Structure 1
Amino acid sequence: KDLGEGEISQYISHLAVERNVAASTQNQALNAIVFLYKRVLEIEIGDLGPMERAKKPEKHPVVMTRQEVGKILALIPGTHGLMAKILYGSGLRLMECVRLRVKDIEFDQNQLFVRDGKGMRDRLTMLPAQVQPALQEHLSRVQLTHEDDRRRGFGEVFLPFALERKYPRAPVEWAWQYVFPSDRLSVDPRSDKMRRHHVDPTGSQRAVRSVARKAGIIKPISPHICRHSFATHVLEAGCDIRTVQGLLGHKDVAT
Protein backbone atom coordinates (compact mmCIF):
# COMPACT_ATOMS: atom_id res chain seq x y z
CA LYS A 1 0.00 0.00 0.00
CA ASP A 2 2.94 2.30 0.68
CA LEU A 3 4.55 1.62 -2.68
CA GLY A 4 4.27 4.38 -5.24
CA GLU A 5 4.47 4.67 -8.99
CA GLY A 6 8.27 4.49 -8.99
CA GLU A 7 8.40 1.20 -7.11
CA ILE A 8 5.71 -0.33 -9.31
CA SER A 9 7.61 0.73 -12.43
CA GLN A 10 10.84 -0.73 -11.04
CA TYR A 11 9.13 -4.04 -10.24
CA ILE A 12 7.59 -4.35 -13.70
CA SER A 13 10.98 -3.58 -15.27
CA HIS A 14 12.61 -6.13 -12.92
CA LEU A 15 10.31 -8.84 -14.30
CA ALA A 16 11.56 -8.17 -17.83
CA VAL A 17 15.26 -7.55 -17.12
CA GLU A 18 16.08 -9.83 -14.18
CA ARG A 19 13.38 -12.48 -14.32
CA ASN A 20 13.22 -12.60 -18.13
CA VAL A 21 9.48 -13.31 -18.10
CA ALA A 22 7.32 -13.44 -21.21
CA ALA A 23 5.53 -10.30 -22.36
CA SER A 24 2.16 -11.82 -21.46
CA THR A 25 3.36 -12.57 -17.91
CA GLN A 26 4.61 -9.01 -17.46
CA ASN A 27 1.32 -7.59 -18.73
CA GLN A 28 -0.62 -9.88 -16.40
CA ALA A 29 1.46 -8.70 -13.42
CA LEU A 30 0.89 -5.04 -14.30
CA ASN A 31 -2.85 -5.56 -14.73
CA ALA A 32 -3.03 -7.37 -11.37
CA ILE A 33 -1.26 -4.51 -9.59
CA VAL A 34 -3.50 -1.89 -11.21
CA PHE A 35 -6.59 -3.91 -10.21
CA LEU A 36 -5.31 -4.29 -6.63
CA TYR A 37 -4.72 -0.57 -6.19
CA LYS A 38 -7.85 0.63 -7.97
CA ARG A 39 -10.47 -1.92 -6.93
CA VAL A 40 -9.22 -3.27 -3.60
CA LEU A 41 -7.11 -0.51 -2.03
CA GLU A 42 -9.08 2.23 -3.83
CA ILE A 43 -5.89 4.12 -4.64
CA GLU A 44 -5.44 5.78 -8.01
CA ILE A 45 -2.11 5.07 -9.72
CA GLY A 46 -0.57 7.95 -11.60
CA ASP A 47 1.84 7.88 -14.51
CA LEU A 48 4.24 4.97 -14.07
CA GLY A 49 6.78 6.55 -16.36
CA PRO A 50 9.16 4.62 -18.61
CA MET A 51 9.40 0.87 -17.99
CA GLU A 52 11.48 -1.86 -19.53
CA ARG A 53 9.00 -4.05 -21.39
CA ALA A 54 9.47 -7.72 -22.16
CA LYS A 55 9.89 -8.32 -25.87
CA LYS A 56 7.50 -10.57 -27.72
CA PRO A 57 9.40 -13.25 -29.63
CA GLU A 58 9.07 -13.02 -33.38
CA LYS A 59 7.25 -16.13 -34.53
CA HIS A 60 7.33 -17.42 -38.07
CA PRO A 61 4.37 -19.51 -39.24
CA VAL A 62 4.89 -23.20 -39.91
CA VAL A 63 4.61 -23.95 -43.63
CA MET A 64 4.55 -27.30 -45.39
CA THR A 65 6.46 -27.96 -48.57
CA ARG A 66 4.46 -28.91 -51.64
CA GLN A 67 5.64 -32.49 -51.18
CA GLU A 68 4.41 -32.53 -47.58
CA VAL A 69 1.06 -31.09 -48.64
CA GLY A 70 0.77 -33.85 -51.24
CA LYS A 71 1.39 -36.51 -48.61
CA ILE A 72 -1.17 -35.04 -46.22
CA LEU A 73 -3.90 -34.66 -48.84
CA ALA A 74 -3.29 -38.15 -50.21
CA LEU A 75 -3.64 -39.80 -46.80
CA ILE A 76 -6.73 -38.08 -45.34
CA PRO A 77 -9.85 -40.01 -46.34
CA GLY A 78 -13.46 -38.95 -46.81
CA THR A 79 -14.97 -35.67 -45.71
CA HIS A 80 -11.93 -34.59 -43.70
CA GLY A 81 -9.78 -35.09 -46.78
CA LEU A 82 -12.10 -32.92 -48.87
CA MET A 83 -12.05 -30.23 -46.20
CA ALA A 84 -8.24 -30.30 -46.09
CA LYS A 85 -8.12 -29.86 -49.88
CA ILE A 86 -10.37 -26.80 -49.59
CA LEU A 87 -8.32 -25.36 -46.72
CA TYR A 88 -5.16 -25.64 -48.79
CA GLY A 89 -6.70 -24.77 -52.15
CA SER A 90 -8.74 -21.78 -50.94
CA GLY A 91 -6.83 -20.51 -47.89
CA LEU A 92 -9.79 -20.83 -45.54
CA ARG A 93 -9.66 -20.92 -41.78
CA LEU A 94 -11.04 -24.17 -40.39
CA MET A 95 -14.17 -22.56 -38.92
CA GLU A 96 -14.80 -20.73 -42.19
CA CYS A 97 -14.73 -24.10 -43.92
CA VAL A 98 -17.12 -25.89 -41.56
CA ARG A 99 -19.55 -22.94 -41.71
CA LEU A 100 -19.76 -22.89 -45.51
CA ARG A 101 -23.31 -22.98 -46.88
CA VAL A 102 -24.31 -24.46 -50.22
CA LYS A 103 -25.10 -20.99 -51.59
CA ASP A 104 -21.52 -19.86 -50.84
CA ILE A 105 -20.10 -22.05 -53.61
CA GLU A 106 -19.81 -20.63 -57.13
CA PHE A 107 -18.73 -23.53 -59.34
CA ASP A 108 -19.10 -21.54 -62.57
CA GLN A 109 -16.89 -18.75 -61.22
CA ASN A 110 -14.43 -21.06 -59.41
CA GLN A 111 -15.06 -19.09 -56.23
CA LEU A 112 -16.04 -19.50 -52.60
CA PHE A 113 -17.86 -16.76 -50.73
CA VAL A 114 -16.68 -16.52 -47.13
CA ARG A 115 -19.30 -14.81 -44.98
CA ASP A 116 -18.68 -13.29 -41.57
CA GLY A 117 -15.03 -14.30 -41.49
CA LYS A 118 -12.61 -13.11 -38.84
CA GLY A 119 -13.45 -9.51 -37.98
CA MET A 120 -16.95 -10.05 -39.44
CA ARG A 121 -15.61 -9.40 -42.95
CA ASP A 122 -16.96 -11.08 -46.08
CA ARG A 123 -14.63 -12.02 -48.92
CA LEU A 124 -14.28 -14.04 -52.11
CA THR A 125 -11.56 -16.62 -52.55
CA MET A 126 -10.66 -19.19 -55.18
CA LEU A 127 -12.17 -22.65 -55.57
CA PRO A 128 -9.60 -24.85 -57.34
CA ALA A 129 -10.90 -26.82 -60.32
CA GLN A 130 -9.18 -29.97 -59.04
CA VAL A 131 -11.40 -30.14 -55.95
CA GLN A 132 -14.71 -29.43 -57.69
CA PRO A 133 -15.64 -32.97 -58.85
CA ALA A 134 -15.18 -34.38 -55.35
CA LEU A 135 -17.06 -31.44 -53.85
CA GLN A 136 -19.98 -31.86 -56.26
CA GLU A 137 -20.17 -35.57 -55.46
CA HIS A 138 -20.08 -34.76 -51.75
CA LEU A 139 -22.91 -32.23 -52.13
CA SER A 140 -25.04 -34.81 -53.95
CA ARG A 141 -24.80 -37.08 -50.91
CA VAL A 142 -25.49 -34.20 -48.53
CA GLN A 143 -28.58 -33.22 -50.53
CA LEU A 144 -29.97 -36.76 -50.28
CA THR A 145 -29.51 -36.62 -46.50
CA HIS A 146 -31.23 -33.24 -46.38
CA GLU A 147 -34.19 -34.50 -48.42
CA ASP A 148 -34.51 -37.50 -46.10
CA ASP A 149 -34.45 -35.16 -43.08
CA ARG A 150 -37.29 -33.12 -44.60
CA ARG A 151 -39.38 -36.22 -45.25
CA ARG A 152 -39.01 -37.08 -41.57
CA GLY A 153 -40.14 -33.61 -40.50
CA PHE A 154 -36.71 -32.10 -39.89
CA GLY A 155 -34.31 -30.44 -42.34
CA GLU A 156 -33.97 -27.04 -40.65
CA VAL A 157 -30.61 -25.33 -40.21
CA PHE A 158 -29.61 -22.44 -37.96
CA LEU A 159 -29.60 -18.99 -39.57
CA PRO A 160 -27.62 -16.09 -38.07
CA PHE A 161 -28.61 -12.48 -37.41
CA ALA A 162 -32.39 -13.02 -37.19
CA LEU A 163 -32.52 -14.13 -40.84
CA GLU A 164 -34.95 -16.86 -39.82
CA ARG A 165 -37.55 -14.23 -38.94
CA LYS A 166 -36.92 -12.34 -42.18
CA TYR A 167 -36.95 -15.48 -44.36
CA PRO A 168 -39.10 -18.05 -42.52
CA ARG A 169 -38.72 -20.70 -45.26
CA ALA A 170 -34.95 -20.34 -45.58
CA PRO A 171 -33.97 -22.79 -42.78
CA VAL A 172 -35.24 -25.76 -44.83
CA GLU A 173 -34.05 -24.54 -48.24
CA TRP A 174 -31.15 -26.42 -49.83
CA ALA A 175 -29.15 -23.25 -50.50
CA TRP A 176 -28.83 -22.50 -46.77
CA GLN A 177 -27.69 -25.97 -45.70
CA TYR A 178 -24.16 -26.55 -44.45
CA VAL A 179 -21.71 -27.95 -46.99
CA PHE A 180 -20.23 -30.11 -44.23
CA PRO A 181 -23.13 -31.10 -41.97
CA SER A 182 -22.93 -33.29 -38.90
CA ASP A 183 -23.69 -36.97 -39.38
CA ARG A 184 -26.49 -36.78 -36.82
CA LEU A 185 -29.33 -34.50 -35.78
CA SER A 186 -29.15 -32.70 -32.45
CA VAL A 187 -31.20 -30.26 -30.38
CA ASP A 188 -30.25 -26.64 -31.02
CA PRO A 189 -30.06 -25.05 -27.53
CA ARG A 190 -30.92 -21.64 -29.01
CA SER A 191 -34.33 -22.80 -30.22
CA ASP A 192 -34.85 -26.33 -28.79
CA LYS A 193 -35.41 -27.49 -32.38
CA MET A 194 -33.96 -30.70 -33.78
CA ARG A 195 -31.48 -29.62 -36.44
CA ARG A 196 -28.40 -30.78 -38.31
CA HIS A 197 -25.48 -28.58 -37.29
CA HIS A 198 -22.18 -28.32 -39.14
CA VAL A 199 -19.48 -30.94 -38.60
CA ASP A 200 -17.34 -30.71 -35.45
CA PRO A 201 -14.00 -29.08 -36.41
CA THR A 202 -12.06 -31.21 -33.92
CA GLY A 203 -12.50 -34.21 -36.22
CA SER A 204 -10.48 -32.49 -38.95
CA GLN A 205 -7.85 -31.41 -36.45
CA ARG A 206 -7.36 -35.00 -35.29
CA ALA A 207 -7.34 -36.33 -38.85
CA VAL A 208 -4.66 -33.90 -40.03
CA ARG A 209 -2.42 -34.55 -37.02
CA SER A 210 -2.84 -38.30 -37.41
CA VAL A 211 -1.85 -38.45 -41.08
CA ALA A 212 1.06 -36.06 -40.48
CA ARG A 213 2.50 -38.58 -38.02
CA LYS A 214 1.92 -41.43 -40.48
CA ALA A 215 3.66 -39.43 -43.21
CA GLY A 216 6.67 -38.89 -40.96
CA ILE A 217 6.29 -35.10 -40.91
CA ILE A 218 7.99 -33.76 -37.78
CA LYS A 219 6.58 -30.23 -38.00
CA PRO A 220 3.57 -29.40 -35.78
CA ILE A 221 0.84 -29.81 -38.40
CA SER A 222 -2.75 -28.63 -38.00
CA PRO A 223 -5.53 -27.63 -40.42
CA HIS A 224 -4.46 -23.99 -40.06
CA ILE A 225 -1.04 -24.88 -41.48
CA CYS A 226 -2.85 -25.65 -44.76
CA ARG A 227 -3.83 -21.97 -44.85
CA HIS A 228 -0.24 -20.85 -44.15
CA SER A 229 0.99 -23.15 -46.90
CA PHE A 230 -1.61 -21.83 -49.35
CA ALA A 231 -0.43 -18.25 -48.77
CA THR A 232 3.25 -19.14 -49.12
CA HIS A 233 2.83 -21.25 -52.24
CA VAL A 234 0.68 -18.74 -54.16
CA LEU A 235 3.21 -16.02 -53.33
CA GLU A 236 6.02 -18.26 -54.57
CA ALA A 237 4.01 -18.80 -57.76
CA GLY A 238 4.11 -15.05 -58.41
CA CYS A 239 0.76 -13.90 -57.03
CA ASP A 240 0.66 -10.27 -55.88
CA ILE A 241 0.81 -9.89 -52.09
CA ARG A 242 -2.23 -7.60 -52.05
CA THR A 243 -4.23 -10.24 -53.88
CA VAL A 244 -3.13 -12.86 -51.36
CA GLN A 245 -4.11 -10.51 -48.55
CA GLY A 246 -7.61 -10.29 -50.00
CA LEU A 247 -7.90 -14.05 -50.49
CA LEU A 248 -6.90 -14.66 -46.87
CA GLY A 249 -9.10 -11.90 -45.47
CA HIS A 250 -6.25 -10.17 -43.63
CA LYS A 251 -6.82 -6.55 -42.68
CA ASP A 252 -3.08 -5.86 -42.48
CA VAL A 253 -0.74 -7.01 -45.24
CA ALA A 254 2.00 -7.52 -42.63
CA THR A 255 0.14 -10.50 -41.17
Structure 2
Amino acid sequence: MPTEKELLATCSQVGNLLLNSGAETFRIENTIEHIGKAAQTPIVCYSTLTAIFITINESTDTLFIKPKMGGYDLKKVDAINQLSRDFTQQKINFNQFNQAIKNLDQTVTQTPFTLQVFGAGLVSMAPMLVFKATWTDLFLSFFVGLTAFIFSKKITSYYDFPYISEVIGGFTIGLLASLLVKFNLGDNLYNIIISSLMPLVPGVAITNAIREIIAKEIISGIVRMTYAFFVAGAIAFGVILAIEVCH
Protein backbone atom coordinates (compact mmCIF):
# COMPACT_ATOMS: atom_id res chain seq x y z
CA MET A 1 0.00 0.00 0.00
CA PRO A 2 1.23 3.56 -0.71
CA THR A 3 2.18 6.02 2.00
CA GLU A 4 -0.18 8.90 2.77
CA LYS A 5 2.15 11.36 1.06
CA GLU A 6 2.32 9.25 -2.12
CA LEU A 7 -1.45 8.79 -2.14
CA LEU A 8 -2.12 12.51 -1.72
CA ALA A 9 0.38 13.36 -4.46
CA THR A 10 -1.30 10.94 -6.89
CA CYS A 11 -4.79 12.13 -5.99
CA SER A 12 -3.74 15.73 -6.51
CA GLN A 13 -2.43 14.89 -9.96
CA VAL A 14 -5.66 13.07 -10.80
CA GLY A 15 -7.77 16.02 -9.62
CA ASN A 16 -5.66 18.52 -11.52
CA LEU A 17 -5.87 16.47 -14.72
CA LEU A 18 -9.63 16.01 -14.47
CA LEU A 19 -10.37 19.67 -13.79
CA ASN A 20 -8.06 20.89 -16.56
CA SER A 21 -9.72 18.43 -18.94
CA GLY A 22 -13.22 19.76 -18.25
CA ALA A 23 -14.55 17.12 -15.85
CA GLU A 24 -17.43 17.94 -13.53
CA THR A 25 -16.61 18.67 -9.88
CA PHE A 26 -18.69 15.75 -8.59
CA ARG A 27 -16.76 13.41 -10.89
CA ILE A 28 -13.48 14.69 -9.46
CA GLU A 29 -14.65 14.18 -5.88
CA ASN A 30 -16.02 10.68 -6.52
CA THR A 31 -12.94 9.55 -8.43
CA ILE A 32 -10.49 10.69 -5.74
CA GLU A 33 -12.56 9.22 -2.90
CA HIS A 34 -12.84 5.88 -4.73
CA ILE A 35 -9.07 5.85 -5.20
CA GLY A 36 -8.70 6.34 -1.45
CA LYS A 37 -11.05 3.42 -0.73
CA ALA A 38 -9.12 1.19 -3.12
CA ALA A 39 -5.91 2.14 -1.32
CA GLN A 40 -7.62 1.34 2.02
CA THR A 41 -7.20 4.97 3.12
CA PRO A 42 -10.37 7.04 3.73
CA ILE A 43 -10.08 10.27 1.73
CA VAL A 44 -12.39 13.26 1.65
CA CYS A 45 -12.28 15.53 -1.39
CA TYR A 46 -13.99 18.85 -1.99
CA SER A 47 -13.69 20.42 -5.44
CA THR A 48 -14.69 23.69 -7.04
CA LEU A 49 -13.71 25.10 -10.43
CA THR A 50 -10.78 26.98 -8.90
CA ALA A 51 -9.61 24.79 -6.00
CA ILE A 52 -9.44 21.20 -4.82
CA PHE A 53 -9.11 20.18 -1.15
CA ILE A 54 -7.98 16.63 -0.35
CA THR A 55 -7.67 15.33 3.20
CA ILE A 56 -7.20 11.97 4.89
CA ASN A 57 -9.75 11.29 7.63
CA GLU A 58 -7.31 9.79 10.11
CA SER A 59 -4.68 12.47 9.58
CA THR A 60 -4.36 16.23 9.89
CA ASP A 61 -2.74 16.44 6.46
CA THR A 62 -4.79 18.43 3.95
CA LEU A 63 -3.67 19.09 0.41
CA PHE A 64 -4.82 22.25 -1.34
CA ILE A 65 -4.59 22.48 -5.14
CA LYS A 66 -5.29 25.59 -7.16
CA PRO A 67 -5.35 24.43 -10.77
CA LYS A 68 -5.85 26.69 -13.75
CA MET A 69 -9.07 25.70 -15.44
CA GLY A 70 -8.23 24.72 -19.01
CA GLY A 71 -10.24 23.61 -21.98
CA TYR A 72 -11.85 20.25 -22.65
CA ASP A 73 -10.03 16.97 -23.24
CA LEU A 74 -12.65 14.25 -22.86
CA LYS A 75 -10.15 11.59 -23.95
CA LYS A 76 -8.14 12.20 -20.78
CA VAL A 77 -11.27 12.21 -18.64
CA ASP A 78 -12.27 8.83 -20.08
CA ALA A 79 -8.74 7.46 -19.65
CA ILE A 80 -8.60 8.51 -15.97
CA ASN A 81 -12.04 7.01 -15.34
CA GLN A 82 -10.90 3.70 -16.81
CA LEU A 83 -7.64 3.72 -14.83
CA SER A 84 -9.47 4.46 -11.58
CA ARG A 85 -11.91 1.60 -12.28
CA ASP A 86 -9.03 -0.78 -12.96
CA PHE A 87 -7.36 0.29 -9.71
CA THR A 88 -10.51 -0.06 -7.59
CA GLN A 89 -11.16 -3.49 -9.13
CA GLN A 90 -7.53 -4.46 -8.35
CA LYS A 91 -6.69 -5.08 -11.99
CA ILE A 92 -3.61 -2.89 -11.51
CA ASN A 93 -1.63 -2.02 -8.38
CA PHE A 94 -0.92 1.47 -7.06
CA ASN A 95 2.51 1.76 -8.68
CA GLN A 96 1.06 0.90 -12.09
CA PHE A 97 -1.80 3.32 -11.55
CA ASN A 98 0.54 6.10 -10.43
CA GLN A 99 2.84 5.61 -13.42
CA ALA A 100 -0.10 5.56 -15.84
CA ILE A 101 -1.35 8.87 -14.43
CA LYS A 102 2.10 10.43 -14.82
CA ASN A 103 2.30 9.21 -18.42
CA LEU A 104 -1.18 10.57 -19.12
CA ASP A 105 -0.20 13.95 -17.69
CA GLN A 106 2.64 14.18 -20.22
CA THR A 107 0.53 12.96 -23.14
CA VAL A 108 -0.91 15.37 -25.68
CA THR A 109 -4.22 14.00 -26.94
CA GLN A 110 -5.29 16.99 -29.00
CA THR A 111 -6.98 16.21 -32.31
CA PRO A 112 -5.01 17.43 -35.39
CA PHE A 113 -6.01 20.96 -36.34
CA THR A 114 -6.93 20.02 -39.91
CA LEU A 115 -9.37 17.41 -38.59
CA GLN A 116 -10.83 19.97 -36.17
CA VAL A 117 -11.38 22.40 -39.06
CA PHE A 118 -13.06 19.75 -41.20
CA GLY A 119 -15.26 18.72 -38.27
CA ALA A 120 -16.24 22.37 -37.71
CA GLY A 121 -17.36 22.55 -41.32
CA LEU A 122 -19.48 19.41 -40.99
CA VAL A 123 -21.06 20.62 -37.75
CA SER A 124 -21.95 23.88 -39.49
CA MET A 125 -23.92 21.96 -42.12
CA ALA A 126 -26.08 20.00 -39.66
CA PRO A 127 -28.70 22.70 -38.85
CA MET A 128 -29.19 23.28 -42.58
CA LEU A 129 -30.75 19.83 -42.80
CA VAL A 130 -33.36 20.95 -40.25
CA PHE A 131 -33.98 24.20 -42.11
CA LYS A 132 -34.30 22.28 -45.38
CA ALA A 133 -32.02 24.88 -46.93
CA THR A 134 -30.83 25.02 -50.51
CA TRP A 135 -27.71 23.17 -51.60
CA THR A 136 -26.00 26.53 -52.06
CA ASP A 137 -26.59 27.59 -48.45
CA LEU A 138 -25.53 24.12 -47.29
CA PHE A 139 -22.15 24.49 -48.98
CA LEU A 140 -21.76 28.10 -47.86
CA SER A 141 -22.43 27.22 -44.22
CA PHE A 142 -19.64 24.64 -44.43
CA PHE A 143 -17.26 27.29 -45.78
CA VAL A 144 -18.31 30.04 -43.35
CA GLY A 145 -18.26 27.74 -40.31
CA LEU A 146 -14.76 26.38 -40.87
CA THR A 147 -13.40 29.84 -41.76
CA ALA A 148 -14.77 31.33 -38.53
CA PHE A 149 -13.37 28.39 -36.57
CA ILE A 150 -9.90 28.97 -38.05
CA PHE A 151 -9.97 32.69 -37.24
CA SER A 152 -11.22 32.12 -33.68
CA LYS A 153 -8.48 29.56 -32.99
CA LYS A 154 -5.65 31.48 -34.62
CA ILE A 155 -6.45 34.74 -32.85
CA THR A 156 -5.77 33.12 -29.46
CA SER A 157 -2.14 32.51 -30.47
CA TYR A 158 -1.66 36.28 -30.89
CA TYR A 159 -3.96 37.77 -28.23
CA ASP A 160 -4.74 36.18 -24.88
CA PHE A 161 -7.69 38.47 -24.16
CA PRO A 162 -10.85 37.01 -22.60
CA TYR A 163 -13.59 36.16 -25.13
CA ILE A 164 -11.72 37.77 -28.05
CA SER A 165 -11.74 34.50 -30.02
CA GLU A 166 -15.53 34.23 -29.68
CA VAL A 167 -16.04 37.83 -30.79
CA ILE A 168 -13.75 37.35 -33.80
CA GLY A 169 -15.48 34.07 -34.69
CA GLY A 170 -18.94 35.66 -34.52
CA PHE A 171 -17.76 38.71 -36.48
CA THR A 172 -16.30 36.49 -39.20
CA ILE A 173 -19.57 34.58 -39.53
CA GLY A 174 -21.69 37.73 -39.68
CA LEU A 175 -19.36 39.41 -42.16
CA LEU A 176 -19.04 36.46 -44.55
CA ALA A 177 -22.74 35.58 -44.44
CA SER A 178 -23.76 39.20 -45.07
CA LEU A 179 -21.37 39.58 -48.00
CA LEU A 180 -22.42 36.28 -49.56
CA VAL A 181 -26.10 37.22 -49.43
CA LYS A 182 -25.39 40.80 -50.53
CA PHE A 183 -23.67 39.55 -53.69
CA ASN A 184 -26.49 37.03 -54.29
CA LEU A 185 -24.27 34.01 -53.62
CA GLY A 186 -26.39 32.91 -50.65
CA ASP A 187 -30.15 32.71 -50.22
CA ASN A 188 -30.95 33.05 -46.53
CA LEU A 189 -28.71 35.19 -44.30
CA TYR A 190 -30.02 33.94 -40.96
CA ASN A 191 -29.90 30.27 -41.90
CA ILE A 192 -26.23 30.61 -42.84
CA ILE A 193 -25.41 32.50 -39.64
CA ILE A 194 -27.24 30.15 -37.28
CA SER A 195 -25.72 27.06 -38.88
CA SER A 196 -22.19 28.46 -38.96
CA LEU A 197 -22.37 29.34 -35.26
CA MET A 198 -22.57 25.69 -34.19
CA PRO A 199 -18.78 25.05 -33.89
CA LEU A 200 -18.45 28.08 -31.59
CA VAL A 201 -21.39 27.33 -29.30
CA PRO A 202 -20.18 26.25 -25.79
CA GLY A 203 -22.20 23.04 -25.82
CA VAL A 204 -19.93 21.09 -23.45
CA ALA A 205 -19.92 23.95 -20.92
CA ILE A 206 -23.73 24.15 -20.96
CA THR A 207 -24.08 20.37 -20.64
CA ASN A 208 -21.62 20.21 -17.73
CA ALA A 209 -23.36 23.12 -16.02
CA ILE A 210 -26.70 21.32 -16.15
CA ARG A 211 -25.09 18.09 -14.90
CA GLU A 212 -23.48 20.00 -12.02
CA ILE A 213 -26.80 21.59 -11.00
CA ILE A 214 -28.61 18.24 -11.21
CA ALA A 215 -25.89 16.72 -8.99
CA LYS A 216 -26.55 19.58 -6.48
CA GLU A 217 -23.17 21.19 -7.17
CA ILE A 218 -24.95 24.53 -7.40
CA ILE A 219 -21.95 26.87 -7.20
CA SER A 220 -19.92 25.09 -9.87
CA GLY A 221 -23.01 24.74 -12.05
CA ILE A 222 -23.80 28.45 -11.85
CA VAL A 223 -20.19 29.37 -12.58
CA ARG A 224 -20.10 27.13 -15.66
CA MET A 225 -23.46 28.45 -16.86
CA THR A 226 -22.30 32.04 -16.39
CA TYR A 227 -19.20 31.29 -18.44
CA ALA A 228 -21.36 29.76 -21.19
CA PHE A 229 -23.61 32.85 -21.24
CA PHE A 230 -20.60 35.14 -21.56
CA VAL A 231 -19.26 33.04 -24.45
CA ALA A 232 -22.65 33.10 -26.18
CA GLY A 233 -22.88 36.85 -25.60
CA ALA A 234 -19.44 37.42 -27.11
CA ILE A 235 -20.38 35.41 -30.20
CA ALA A 236 -23.66 37.30 -30.56
CA PHE A 237 -21.86 40.63 -30.18
CA GLY A 238 -19.47 39.72 -32.99
CA VAL A 239 -22.31 38.70 -35.30
CA ILE A 240 -24.37 41.83 -34.60
CA LEU A 241 -21.32 44.05 -35.09
CA ALA A 242 -20.60 42.50 -38.48
CA ILE A 243 -24.21 42.82 -39.64
CA GLU A 244 -24.28 46.49 -38.59
CA VAL A 245 -21.02 47.13 -40.45
CA CYS A 246 -22.36 45.54 -43.63
CA HIS A 247 -25.75 47.25 -43.51
TM-score normalised by structure 1 residue count:
0.25
- The structure with the greater share of residues assigned to helix is 2
Q: Report the TM-score when normalising by structure 2.
A: 0.26
**Which structure would you say has the larger RCO, counting Cα contacts within 8 Å and 6 or more residues apart?**
1
Structure with max Cα Rg? 1
